[in-house]
Structure 1
Amino acid sequence: MSYGTLVDVETLKAHLDDPNWLVVDVRHQLSDTGYGERVYGQSHIPGAVFLHCDRDLSGPMTGRNGRHPLPDPQKLAVRLGEIGIGPQTQVVVYDDAQGMIAGRLWWLLRWLGHDAVALLDGGLQAWQAASGAVTDVQPTLKAREFTPALRDAWVTADYVMERLETPHMHLIDARGPDRFRGENETIDPVGGHIPGAVNRFFKDNLLADGRFKPAAELRAEWLAVLAGAEPDQVIHQCGSGVSACLNLVAMELAGLPGSRLYAGSWSEWCADPGRPVAR
């Protein structure tokens, strides 16, 4: 059996020694980009491998392509193979930020054609609350061959611009409501949102303890957000194409697959003063 959205703590505990399972730690903080690597070195789930949000899960910035551009898929595939992900590997990814970073690796693997990837439901906090073991021991990596099979999973700024406020695109912004309104913008140089976008804060998919809401509850909420739009009309975005991935996970859980990511998101959009802004 493979897992394509979530794995709970007890299931992961039962597979910690399974050679076909690989745990990936992607802890990260925007304000301290060395944080994840530092805390991983101090303590992590046994066997977990660390990937860095900027170095591994993103490509180089140009000043016009957003804060977390997509990585080159071939280079990413090589890196994934280096850490031990092959065609039969069940990947479990976790962070300590309510899945905000973990969702990015989930989406990247799906983009590259690897469906056996799941978030640890509740993240590291749920693992610790259930007395899950931790260690500072670095795992021995066993490289595998990872062959990408790219999917039509993301869109460009031009795609979004051509479909602004039309029935052919339902744009959903995963940022907090204040940033969506253009208030308290401390990350990007311009406040506001893309015209026609609606707001679905990524944290609204979660319970108070950081685990995902039940699928039926998510489905009811997401059908209200979609307002009659089909999932394949939905384009997700956020500040830089990271937290929006959690909304894609939630739609999958809700039985509403087929939406895509505007990878550049607000940080790319607002880098061009010629693009319209709503507040």
Structure 2
Amino acid sequence: MAFETLISVPELQSLIASGSGVLLLDCTFELGAPEKGPALYAEGHLPGAHYAHLDEDLAGPPDGTNGRHPLPARVALAAWLRTQGLRKGQQAVAYDSNGGAWAARAWWLLRWMGHAPVAVLDGGKPAWVEAGLPLETTPPGPVMTGNFEAGEPLTAAPADAADVLANIGGGEAQVLDARDPSRFRGDPNPIDPVPGHIPGARNRFFGDNLGPDGRFRPAAELAADFTALLDGKPAVLSCGSGVTACHNALAMEIAGLPGARLYPGSWSEWISDPARPVETGEG
């Protein structure tokens, strides 16, 4: 059985015990302190997990105009995944300690690379620890290079700034912004040098996809939320830099609402051109 959205701790345990081989990606990260992710990984990670750094492995180099976390080149990402041992058709599981905020980026990227069996660990490392399961403090030993090759994307084509700008006038699609409500409104914060959001966007804070236990809410609840926000329109997903927007993409997939387009550059790319319009307030 392949897992393509979420996998629970018991399901992951069973999969590991089966000996079928799972590629585990630890996506622990902290905005504003990129060195903390590797340190937290070293303090304890799921057995056999490889570290996936958001800045270095799950993004391409920013140039000041393409956002903080532009998409990596497909050839570079495929090569990195092979060095982690990924094989064609192998189950991959991404996790973090932040409700899937960073792991969802790895999930979206692997689907963009044409790899279907990839899931996010529901509840992440905290759920694993809560179940009384062990962690390791050393990285996995040398692995055999995998045979993964990029295939046709399993995601909708990403949107770019020109697509989003054109949509402001026509309004054919609904932009959903995954940042927290304060940042969306344009309250002063240390992350966004220009406050506000894309005109016409609606706020769907990625944290609202989770229940109090840090796991994803039921599919029916997610479907009701997104359906109300979209009002029959297709979705373009944005956030600060194209990362937590992937959390909304995952939630929509769980809800049975596939086909949302990611705007990878998101707000950090949008504001790199002062000619692009900005809106503040609740939206």
User: Which bin holds the TM-score, normalised by the shorter protein?
Assistant: over 0.9
Instruction: Please state how far the C-alpha of 1:48 moved relative to its aligned partner.
Output: 0.6
Structure 1 Cα separation of the partners of residues 203 and 2 of structure 2 = 32
Structure 1 Cα separation of the partners of residues 89 and 115 of structure 2 = 9
Tell me which residue corresponds to 2:51: 50
Question: Is 1:187 equivalent to 2:187 in the alignment?
Answer: no
Tell me which residue corresponds to 1:37: 38
Tell me which residue corresponds to 1:79: 80
Q: Is the 8 A contact 1:69 1:240 kept in 2?
A: yes
Tell me which residue corresponds to 2:176: 172
Tell me which residue corresponds to 1:116: 117
Question: Is 1:155 equivalent to 2:155 in the alignment?
Answer: no
Instruction: Please state how far the C-alpha of 1:71 moved relative to its aligned partner.
Output: 0.6
Which stretches in structure 1 are left out of the alignment for 5+ residues? none
Tell me which residue corresponds to 2:222: 218
Instruction: Please state how far the C-alpha of 1:22 moved relative to its aligned partner.
Output: 1.2
User: 1:137-165: CA deviations, max 9, x gaps?
Assistant: 32132211111124243111111111114
Tell me which residue corresponds to 1:145: 147
Question: Is 1:203 equivalent to 2:204 in the alignment?
Answer: no
RMSD: 1.1
Normalised by the length of structure 1, the TM-score is 0.96
More moved, 160-169 vs 34-43? 160-169
Structure 1 Cα separation of the partners of residues 15 and 41 of structure 2 = 20
Tell me which residue corresponds to 1:8: 8
Q: Is the 8 A contact 1:13 1:132 kept in 2?
A: no
Tell me which residue corresponds to 2:260: 259
Normalised by the length of structure 2, the TM-score is 0.95
Structure 2 Cα separation of the partners of residues 185 and 237 of structure 1 = 18
Q: Is the 8 A contact 1:90 1:117 kept in 2?
A: yes
Amino acid at match of 1:10: P
Tell me which residue corresponds to 1:227: 231
Structure 1 Cα separation of the partners of residues 113 and 65 of structure 2 = 24
Which stretches in structure 2 are left out of the alignment for 5+ residues? none
Structure 1 Cα separation of the partners of residues 187 and 28 of structure 2 = 27
Tell me which residue corresponds to 1:70: 71
Tell me which residue corresponds to 2:274: 273
Task: Please give the secondary structure, in 1, of the residue aligned with 2:170.
Answer: coil
More moved, 10-19 vs 114-123? 10-19
Q: Is the 8 A contact 1:53 1:101 kept in 2?
A: yes
Find runs of 4+ consecutive structure 1 residues off by over 6 angstroms.
none
Instruction: Please state how far the C-alpha of 1:199 moved relative to its aligned partner.
Output: 0.6
The count of aligned residue pairs is 276
Structure 1 Cα separation of the partners of residues 47 and 15 of structure 2 = 11
Amino acid at match of 1:46: P
More moved, 195-204 vs 161-170? 161-170
Instruction: Please state how far the C-alpha of 1:115 moved relative to its aligned partner.
Output: 1.1
Amino acid at match of 2:196: G
Instruction: Please state how far the C-alpha of 1:184 moved relative to its aligned partner.
Output: 2.9
Q: Is the 8 A contact 1:16 1:46 kept in 2?
A: no
